[in-house]
Chain A
Amino acid sequence: MAFTEKDVDYIANLARLSLSPQETKQFTSQLDKILSYVHKLDELNTESVEPTAHILPVNNVFRADEPKTCPNAQYAVEQAPELINGLFSVPKVIE
């Protein structure tokens, strides 16, 4: 199944990227090539193979639920591109 410009438009929207027509065209042909290549994995029968998410023999690593202060919170907020009264500012979201 060929990978089309419609596919790129669809995933660009999911990924919150807006692409120029030229970018869409270029990414379509490049991703088509890459996806055709990775289909190599279909040669392998993996029906009875367990997936590996990461290599460590750990699952949930819990710590005690103790409140701690975050010493640099204000500095972290200040790194935002736009602030109003020390809070993140965004365009109006409700009419």
Chain B
Amino acid sequence: MTLYAKTAVELLAMMRRKEACAREIVESVFQRIEAINDKLNAFVALDKEGALKKADEVDRKRAAGEPLGELAGIPVGIKDNLCNHTHPTTCASNILQGYNAAFTGTAVRKLHKADAVIIGNLNMDEFAMGSSCETSFYGPCKNPWNLDYIPGGSSGGSASAVAADMAVMTLGSDTGGSIRQPASLCGVVGMKPTYGRVSRFGLVAFASSLDQIGPITKTVEDNALLLKVISGHDTHDSTSIDTPVPDYLSLLDKPLKGLKIGIPKEYFIDGMDAEVEQSVRAGIDTLKKLGAETVDISLPHTEYAVSTYYIIATAEASSNLARFDGVRYGNRTKNPSDLKELYYKSRSEGFGDEVKRRILLGTYVLSSGYYDAYYKKAQKVRTLIRQDFTKAFEKVDCIITPVSPTPAFKLGEKINDPLTMYLGDIFTISINLAGLPALSVPCGFSGNGLPIGMQIIGKTLDEERILQIGHVFEKNTLFHKEKPALG
């Protein structure tokens, strides 16, 4: 197998055994990118020169017997909303064209410290607002399994690149499913950690009470490895949790015997895609054969999650995106007559439709006279959604559900119907509202060859357990070994 197709754990072992060096690996990955990125539009910026320089540094350090970081020589791609000093960070938006990050965010700094090789920035829905990667200023990213289909969103580029072997691992961000849904639709592994597990410092804010950075990888092992590197307390983020980070990778091999899996009836509903239901149920059966038990549970407020989420997330977004004023970053309108016109025109020219729609909605639900009816009401329902999970976790160790009610849909299919697009987030957004960790692992394929994912939801800060479950599942199935038939 060519180097670019291998996992991080495999490549690290090869480098240790001197069977490959970092430069060969990075060159192999760039060869792959140069061959197929035009088809997929997953990377929106590349730094080959910087990547090769870092690879040579890793090889030199290894030859000299100097200490190396945990990801030494591994090519990693980052979502275009993560700040990497002096490199472009544009959130796939027109308004940030020409902007280079003024500092390095914590998760990316930890990648540098671990001697990872950062290869470039990945396509996304503009400002992470979308479920299909179609709202990007750079044009849509495509699903490697079928180029007529969306890769999911908003971290569509991060998932597409891993599925197509253009990056060994990537970082995404997840506000309402933006890591798990594209991971599921592209057949790779994606983790949204507990809110506060990974510092948000240097992640361009969308909805601050929901955003979380997380890893997208080819296997659960790689996911455990990358999660450990980026996790931990950070004084630059007051919402980061001060709890030690377990060595997830070394803890993966725990048997499932006695594990109690909660199956919420609200996540297996009439009208959901039959192939998705079948694959997820088959996945649960696999875990049962390996010693787990299932318990029927109820998360009764699930049907209110989409409404709650789209009020809270847009309210926070309208406030966070007020900073883009055409004065301090990126794009400014040409020849404004006065300051007011500068603001109005720079913002109107700079933001795309979906971002404008969410700013308008968020502004409305926060505006005088509507605040209590919408925003405060949604915050209260958020409490009820959280309580559903707290109660459920008194009886079970994890909860398993589908990630998305359907496999990937066709490009253009839902883009003109925002509400339909929003309703597709039903199985992922409650987890952000409750701040819980959840992992998406491949569990099947549709009749027309598109991947299907299973969501394993854990208790607060119990990433360790859901990674163990995902790992055992992966060891006993072959879905993660399938590769898209790209040129």
Establish whether residues B86 and A34, one from each chain, have CB atoms under 8 Å apart when the complex forms.
no
Query: How many angstroms from the CA of A8 to the CA of B367 in the assembled complex?
Result: 12
Query: How many angstroms from the CA of A31 to the CA of B22 in the assembled complex?
Result: 51
Interface size class of B (residues with CB under 8 A): 35 or more
Query: How many angstroms from the CA of A88 to the CA of B434 in the assembled complex?
Result: 41
A67 located at the interface, meaning its Cβ lies under 8 Å from any Cβ of chain B in the complex: no
A85 located at the interface, meaning its Cβ lies under 8 Å from any Cβ of chain B in the complex: no
Contacting residues, chain B, for A39 (C-beta < 8 A):
307
Instruction: Mark each residue of chain B from 102 to 137: 1 if its CB lies under 8 Å from any CB of chain A, else 0.
Output: 110000000000000000000000000000000000
Establish whether residues A15 and B318, one from each chain, have CB atoms under 8 Å apart when the complex forms.
yes
User: From B86, which residue of chain A is reached at the shortest CB distance?
Assistant: A75
Establish whether residues B383 and A75, one from each chain, have CB atoms under 8 Å apart when the complex forms.
no
Establish whether residues A14 and B381, one from each chain, have CB atoms under 8 Å apart when the complex forms.
no
Partner of B342, one of A10, A23, A31, A90: A90
For residue A86, give the distance in angstroms from its CB to the closest CB of chain B: 13
Instruction: Mark each residue of chain B from 361 to 403: 1 if its CB lies under 8 Å from any CB of chain A, else 0.
Output: 1011001000000101111111110100000000000000000
**Listed stretches B233-241, B257-265, B275-283, B441-449; interface member:** B233-241
For residue A95, give the distance in angstroms from its CB to the closest CB of chain B: 10
Establish whether residues B435 and A49, one from each chain, have CB atoms under 8 Å apart when the complex forms.
no
Establish whether residues A72 and B85, one from each chain, have CB atoms under 8 Å apart when the complex forms.
yes
Do A46 and B364 contact each other (CB < 8 Å), given the known contacts A18-B345, A53-B379? no
User: From B97, which residue of chain A is reached at the shortest CB distance?
Assistant: A81
Contacting residues, chain B, for A51 (C-beta < 8 A):
376, 379-380, 382-383
Contacting residues, chain A, for B339 (C-beta < 8 A):
90-91, 93
Contacting residues, chain B, for A31 (C-beta < 8 A):
357, 360-361, 364
For residue B375, give the distance in angstroms from its CB to the closest CB of chain A: 9
Interface centre among A15, A46, A50, A75 (most CB of B within 10 A): A15
Contacting residues, chain A, for B103 (C-beta < 8 A):
72, 76
Query: How many angstroms from the CA of A63 to the CA of B363 in the assembled complex?
Result: 32
User: From A89, which residue of chain B is reached at the shortest CB distance?
Assistant: B327
Establish whether residues A17 and B383, one from each chain, have CB atoms under 8 Å apart when the complex forms.
no
Q: How many A-B residue pairs have CB under 8 A?
A: 160
Instruction: Mark each residue of chain B from 327 to 347: 1 if its CB lies under 8 Å from any CB of chain A, else 0.
Output: 111111000111101111101
Query: How many angstroms from the CA of A10 to the CA of B208 in the assembled complex?
Result: 25
Query: How many angstroms from the CA of A88 to the CA of B329 in the assembled complex?
Result: 10
Establish whether residues A52 and B367, one from each chain, have CB atoms under 8 Å apart when the complex forms.
no
Interface size class of A (residues with CB under 8 A): 35 or more
Partner of B367, one of A14, A88, A92: A14
Establish whether residues B311 and A17, one from each chain, have CB atoms under 8 Å apart when the complex forms.
no
| Chain A facing B: main interface SS | loop
Contacting residues, chain B, for A11 (C-beta < 8 A):
360, 363-364, 367
Query: How many angstroms from the CA of A12 to the CA of B433 in the assembled complex?
Result: 27
Query: How many angstroms from the CA of A38 to the CA of B423 in the assembled complex?
Result: 11
Q: Which B279-303 residues sit within 8 Å CB-CB of chain A?
A: 301, 303
Contacting residues, chain B, for A79 (C-beta < 8 A):
99-100, 102, 328-330
Establish whether residues A17 and B310, one from each chain, have CB atoms under 8 Å apart when the complex forms.
no
Establish whether residues B384 and A14, one from each chain, have CB atoms under 8 Å apart when the complex forms.
no
Interface centre among A11, A27, A30, A75 (most CB of B within 10 A): A11
B326 located at the interface, meaning its Cβ lies under 8 Å from any Cβ of chain A in the complex: yes
User: From B311, which residue of chain A is reached at the shortest CB distance?
Assistant: A38
Contacting residues, chain A, for B343 (C-beta < 8 A):
16
Do A81 and B331 contact each other (CB < 8 Å), given the known contacts A15-B360, A61-B238? yes
A44 located at the interface, meaning its Cβ lies under 8 Å from any Cβ of chain B in the complex: yes
Establish whether residues B304 and A55, one from each chain, have CB atoms under 8 Å apart when the complex forms.
no
A40 located at the interface, meaning its Cβ lies under 8 Å from any Cβ of chain B in the complex: yes
A56 located at the interface, meaning its Cβ lies under 8 Å from any Cβ of chain B in the complex: yes
For residue A80, give the distance in angstroms from its CB to the closest CB of chain B: 5
Contacting residues, chain B, for A54 (C-beta < 8 A):
195, 208-209, 239, 435
Establish whether residues B344 and A17, one from each chain, have CB atoms under 8 Å apart when the complex forms.
yes
Contacting residues, chain A, for B272 (C-beta < 8 A):
none
Partner of A44, one of B341, B379, B381: B381
Instruction: Mark each residue of chain B from 301 to 329: 1 if its CB lies under 8 Å from any CB of chain A, else 0.
Output: 10110111011000000100010011111
User: From A79, which residue of chain B is reached at the shortest CB distance?
Assistant: B99
For residue B301, give the distance in angstroms from its CB to the closest CB of chain A: 8
List 14 A-B residue pairs with CB atoms under 8 Å apart, sorted by A's residue number.
A15-B347, A15-B363, A19-B348, A23-B353, A27-B357, A33-B419, A35-B361, A41-B381, A51-B376, A51-B382, A58-B238, A79-B100, A82-B332, A91-B338
Question: When A and B form their complex, which 8 residue pairs have the shortest distance between CB atoms, in order from nearest?
Answer: A55-B435, A51-B379, A76-B102, A81-B332, A61-B238, A46-B380, A38-B307, A54-B209
17 new A-B contacts, CB < 8 A, other than A30-B418, A31-B360, A75-B85, are A11-B364, A11-B367, A37-B306, A37-B307, A41-B311, A49-B381, A50-B383, A51-B379, A52-B386, A54-B209, A54-B239, A55-B386, A56-B435, A61-B238, A79-B102, A88-B328, A91-B338
